[in-house]
Amino acid sequence: MPELPEVEALAAFLRENAVGRVVARVDLAGLQALKTFDPPLSALAGLEVTGAARHGKFLDLDVSGLHLVVHLARAGWLHWRTGLPAAPPKPGKGPLALRVHLDDGNGFDLTEQGTRKGLAVHVVRSPAEVPGVARLGPDALEVDRDTFARLMAGRSGQLKGALTDQTVLAGIGNAYSDEILHTARLSPFKMADKLTDDEVLRLHDAVRATLTDALQRQVGQRAATLKGEKRSGLQVHARTGLPCPVCGDTVREVSFADTSLQYCPTCQTGGKPLADRRMSKLLR
């Protein structure tokens, strides 16, 4: 799932390659992806792309005051295309959800793999009209120490959930929350409102360091190479069974119904493995 660094890198890529071009046409191939009807998608045609920004994990293309706001969800991605075919795509087949043609013959595709479709496209006059954007907490890259401490103190629940709740803090998902908790040497199941002052500082520093490091590696990369760049920087996420690069212990996993988390017992839980959700309550 694209998180803050990937979406920021995509926005930077679009600022470089799409801003200044005029939208020639927008093809909707995955009907379920479009969540708004007024203004219509066709209203974008003939207008110049004037900016590209990020709100949490939402990508926002500013088209002369109209906004194409995209949430890529779990398996969505943006593919830059040079020399797009003129013929409109067949709706409903394959991963293509939306195609944006620019006036120079280039453009981009929004695609989504798999059968569970979550990719969402909105055409709005202001990004705040998108409910998910309106609900966002402060941006994870911009939140200062005091605000961060207040957010954690006001949250009764486990750290993993607090870091990934977009209404608390915007931009962090499953992968970077694993990485941040590993860097901060904190258990994913520790309660957010039970952190000591030192732990809050460590966690805030880890949020900054992890996201800044990922951003530095990714901004400037082409959309096609971003995913590989993300994977190469990970220390625990998606590395179950591999050695922790910090201490050499084996990275472990906790599975849930439709997701999982990874952590290092030596770095994060005093060497004790987290068996499952219920067991974890005994260990925190």
Q: Which residues bind Zn ion (CB under 5 A)?
A: 244, 246-247, 249, 264, 266-267
**CB-facing half-sphere around the CA of 122: CA atoms within 13 A:** 19
**Complex with Zn ion: residue 17 or 268, whichever CB lies closer:** 268
What is the C-alpha separation between 94 and 149, in angstroms, rounded? 45
**Complex with Zn ion: residue 58 or 263, whichever CB lies closer:** 263
Residue 206 token pair? 């880890």
Pairing of strands 260-263, 120-124: unpaired
Least spacing, CB of residue 182 vs Zn ion, in Å: 7
What is the C-alpha separation between 200 and 132, in angstroms, rounded? 27
Report the run of H or E that residue 51 belongs to, with start and end. Answer: strand 51-55
Least spacing, CB of residue 3 vs Zn ion, in Å: 22
**CB-facing half-sphere around the CA of 275: CA atoms within 13 A:** 5
Sequence letter at residue 181: L
Least spacing, CB of residue 260 vs Zn ion, in Å: 18
Least spacing, CB of residue 221 vs Zn ion, in Å: 28
Least spacing, CB of residue 162 vs Zn ion, in Å: 22
**Complex with Zn ion: residue 182 or 208, whichever CB lies closer:** 182
**Complex with Zn ion: residue 122 or 160, whichever CB lies closer:** 160
Least spacing, CB of residue 273 vs Zn ion, in Å: 13
What is the C-alpha separation between 74 and 99, in angstroms, rounded? 19
Least spacing, CB of residue 265 vs Zn ion, in Å: 8
Report the run of H or E that residue 97 belongs to, with start and end. Answer: strand 96-102
Dihedral angle, C-alpha 76, 205, 229, 190, nearest 10 °: -60
**Complex with Zn ion: residue 242 or 247, whichever CB lies closer:** 247
**Complex with Zn ion: residue 104 or 253, whichever CB lies closer:** 253
Read off φ and ψ for residue 51, nearest 5 degrees: -175, 165
Q: Name the residue whose CB lies closest to Zn ion.
A: 244
Answer whether 245's CB lies under 8 Å from 160's CB.
no
Give the full edge-to-edge strand order of the sheet including 23-28: 23-28, 96-102, 107-112, 76-81
Least spacing, CB of residue 246 vs Zn ion, in Å: 4
**Complex with Zn ion: residue 208 or 252, whichever CB lies closer:** 252
**Complex with Zn ion: residue 36 or 266, whichever CB lies closer:** 266
Sequence letter at residue 39: P
